[in-house]
A = this chain, B = another copy of it.
Amino acid sequence: MQWTKVLGLGLGAAALLGLGIILGHFAIPKKANSPAPQDLDLAILETVMGQLDAHRIRENLRELSREPHLASSPRDEDLVQLLLQRWKDPGSGLDSAEASTYEVLLSFPSQEQPNVVDVVGPTGDIIHSCHRTEENVTGEQGGPDVVQPYAAYAPSGTPQAVNAAKHGVAGVLVYTDPADINDGLSSPNETFPNSWYLPPSGVERGSYYEYFGDPLTPYLPAVPSSFRVDLANVSGFPPIPTQPIGFQDARDLLCNLNGTLAPATWQGALGCRYRLGPGFRPDGDFPADSQVSVSVYNRLELRNSSNVLGIIRGAVEPDRYVLYGNHRDSWVHGAVDPSSGTAVLLELSRVLGTLLKKGTWRPRRSIVFASWGAEEFGLIGSTEFTEEFFNKLQERTVAYINVDISVFANATLRVQGTPPVQSVVFSATKEIRSPGPGDLSIYDNWIRYFNRSSPVYGLVPSLGSLGAGSDYAPFIHFLGISSMDIAYTYDRSKTSARIYPTYHTAFDTFDYMDKFLDPGFSSHQAVARTAGSVILRLSDSFFLPLKVSDYSETLRSFLQAAEQDLGALLEQHSISLGPLVTAVEKFEAEASALGQRISTLQKGSPDPLQVRMLNDQLMLLERTFLNPRAFPEERYYSHVLWAPRTGSVATFPGLSNACSRARDTASGSEAWAEVQRQLSIVVTALEGAAATLRPVADL
């Protein structure tokens, strides 16, 4: 309750300020065709900040999460229409909007034959059945549109003990332990709707596909005419039947297991000591020679899934795109995931669209809004989009901003991104009030939760790095576009939950968000303001606010880790880090010199073409780290700094991974040759990147 009061005050002040700014702004008459603004207009920025409305975000969320909207379902298609309607609204829409559809391979449980997990007694009779649906606690967990919990892309089948004996494992049951998701709590009166914790019947759905993108059309857009890999040749699906269950059912199985005690780190909060099996213990609930029978009836289906795209045309540089997106599809109602992000997306597009339609403002560069389809199955809509428009996007996109779940919790901002976006996020968040108690900026609040000591800046909020958890993955890893993911999240001193507890369950509902995660929606508003400010700064600033020299810290830390943790090993195998040291130093020097040239130019009155050339250097820096031949076994991953790292040393991933594979082989092995190749790939990328930062007419 305290939160909403403070929020009410904050909103009032912001609204007044915004109104003043609007009046001030309109007092100076502007023609719609007046000369395009040269630079970020702080008055417009303030207007946007003031108009982003927590209440409207809440209403967006209520509508978006009213029904389950699984990818390609009728309700998912209804939301496509809702987005189109909003983005085509004459008073608050964008310049244009359209849906584009791909035909993609999804995986669903059978509606006729539910997936089944039973305990079968020695005579073949069913002694115990796991729940096939979640308990209808709030009235929203029932009905035909709530998809049965399942592991998407897990093959169908009924594993038999004979197979189990032969292959070791015949099927997999997955559950989330209350120790990991509920801070140990598990009883109904301690869980939703009585708290934010997961009810005992809650089951986390998910995609079990190893890669991302449509499984049948790697590197090709999944348009109907595209070549599709034969199903028999698809890789990345789980090899054996798999089914998720709730922790209530998991307790019934796990607490009755026989055998040796599981390791201490495997123990959880189900109220018993976990054992490894095989078989049930003789003094338990089931006869000792009972079996667990798992029947999975998942089906692969080619389905139409849509992206929705909308654009605000840039006034001066329409061929530079600031791309902002989130997925639309959910597992069930998906109030948090992803509708909290979509609610923000709609409010941002409304505020900007309104200014646009009034003729008050048009950005220097184009702003593209995207609502992706089928993300939950493996980032499919965004990946197909990048496959279809690879060159156009790679040539022209300034940055990609992702807001998926906008609010995990209401404690602090959390940003993942590549170094060039750090400074624009810092600039934005320093100017926005934090929704919490006290008079802190989002930046000042953020730094209390996530921080690091930067050799350049001192104590600053720390950005996380981008994995492949949401739709930014194809943009950063496949296209080399500077990307970020923005959300509000937890106070880690208050919970150790892996993620908000109802994640991917039928309990992720509007009320859940409204009551437990962000009452008053001030954190949604904070995310909207942060993203909005970042969008405006990227689209309107004369000089692109991408600070490429911030990559120097990353490179230096990767280099130091390589020297400290791999240097001796490499030396034993006569591999020198010298060329890498030189390359990092060259990058640092060129990035710093470019920064100085920009500073100098900013003091003068540079002409637009001059600035465009510098901006191209900034925009395209991230591309120089791509090498599509660096990791042939990794689908889509071409970024030599952010590819998946399996090696333990926090350095360049290719180097780290190759070293961890070579470690136990002799000098001269192919594994050590691969270490040298990976080192050369990184050195070439860094030298090439440095070359693009030099004055453009230097040889």
- The distance in angstroms between the C-alpha atoms of A323 and B679, with both chains bound, is 30
* A135 on the B face (CB < 8 A): no
Residue A616 at the chain B interface, CB threshold 8 Å: yes
Within 8 A of B (CB), among A619-634: 620, 623-624, 628-629
Return chain B residues, CB-CB under 8 Å to A676: 227
Give every chain B residue within 8 A of A687 (Cβ-Cβ): 221, 388
The 3 A-B residue pairs whose C-beta atoms are closest, nearest first, are: A319-B696, A225-B579, A227-B680
Interface string of A307-320 (1 = CB under 8 A from B): 00111011011110
> Which parts of A282-335 form the interface with B (CB within 8 Å)?
309-311, 313-314, 316-319
Q: Kindly specify which of A151-159, A261-269, A391-399, A408-416 makes contact with the partner chain.
A: A391-399
Query: Could you say which interface size class chain A belongs to?
Result: 35 or more
Q: Are B688 and A395 in contact (CB under 8 A)?
A: no
How distant is the Cα of A389 from the Cα of B628 in the complex, in angstroms?
A: 15
Across-interface contacts of A95 in B (CB, < 8 A): 697
Are A318 and B387 also in contact (CB < 8 A) when A392-B692, A628-B629, A679-B227 are? no
Q: Is there a chain B Cβ closer than 8 Å to A699's Cβ?
A: yes
Q: Assess whether A608 is interfacial by the CB under 8 Å rule.
A: yes
Other-chain residue from B396, B612, B689 in contact with A612 (beta carbon distance below 8 A): B612
The answer to the question of A650 belonging to the interface, with a C-beta cut-off of 8 Å to chain B, is: no
B697 touches A318 (CB 8 A): yes
Residue from A313, A680, A683 with most neighbouring chain B CB atoms (10 Å): A680
A276 at the interface (CB under 8 A from B): no
Of all chain B residues, which has the CB nearest A617?
B319
B319 touches A613 (CB 8 A): yes
Tell me if A219 counts as interface (CB < 8 A to partner B): yes
Asked whether A688 lies within 8 Å of B388 as measured between CB atoms, the reply is: yes
Contacts of A664-699 to chain B: CB distance below 8 A: 673, 676-677, 679-681, 683-684, 687-689, 691-692, 695-699
Residues of A within 8 A of B (CB): 95-98, 219-221, 223, 225-227, 229-230, 309-311, 313-314, 316-319, 366, 368, 387-392, 395-396, 576, 578-579, 607-609, 612-613, 616-617, 620, 623-624, 628-629, 673, 676-677, 679-681, 683-684, 687-689, 691-692, 695-699
Quick one: given A609-B612, A697-B95, A699-B96, are A688 and B317 in contact (CB under 8 Å)?
no
Option from B230, B313, B688 in Cβ contact (under 8 Å) with A389: B688
- Evaluate contact between B395 and A616: CB separation under 8 angstroms: yes
Contact check, A623 vs B319: say whether CB atoms are below 8 A apart. no
Measured between C-beta atoms, what is the minimum distance from A681 to chain B in Å? Answer: 7
